[in-house]
Structure 1
Amino acid sequence: MSNLSDLKRLSMGFFALPLACAGLLIMANVQQTDREVAAEQHRQYCEDVALWRTEVAQGVPLNRRAGQPDHQGIADEQCPSIPASGNSQRQLASN
């Protein structure tokens, strides 16, 4: 009887290892997807701020501007593809 329970434990351990590996692979894939989504959101934010700043510089009226001002206050440091600008809130209020 002891041999039968040992065999059950051994077989359960044998199947648990591939399941654990599959679980780790799934978790790694989910984390990669989360990073990709976050990177895409950041890229879109930077594009929106760049568009907003371009339209401010062109004198586009506030109610016709596309994009968004740098409401997070991160574009100057974290969006290297766009030139640094002064306080976008000041630009928003002056127009």
Structure 2
Amino acid sequence: MKHTTPAEVEAMLKNKQPINIIDVREVDEVKEGKIPGAVHIPLGLLEFRMHELDKSTEYTMVCRSGGRSGMASKLLESHGYKVINMTGGMMAWEGSTE
């Protein structure tokens, strides 16, 4: 499984590099703020909504601390998706939120 850091994700956003972020936290967690442009798909719904994703696109998975996004990454990888887990999650995020 590939990994990235919150600082690397923030740098990509600042440099306007293409990045597809999926936030797998629960609804109440996302209400506190998410990375701008991130798509919210709670981990419990990911298996049922993965058909909405494109296997030719790479996705960066985000959660609160990195554990659930790691599980989400493993799930998607096992179905042929390209994913990167953001270690440290939103607890380590220092960038802006929406």
- TM band (smaller chain): under 0.3
The structure with more strand, counted as a fraction of residues: 2
Larger radius of gyration: 1
Identify the structure with bigger relative contact order (alpha carbons < 8 Å, sequence gap 6+).
Answer: 2
- With normalisation by structure 2, the TM-score equals 0.25
The structure with more helix, counted as a fraction of residues: 1
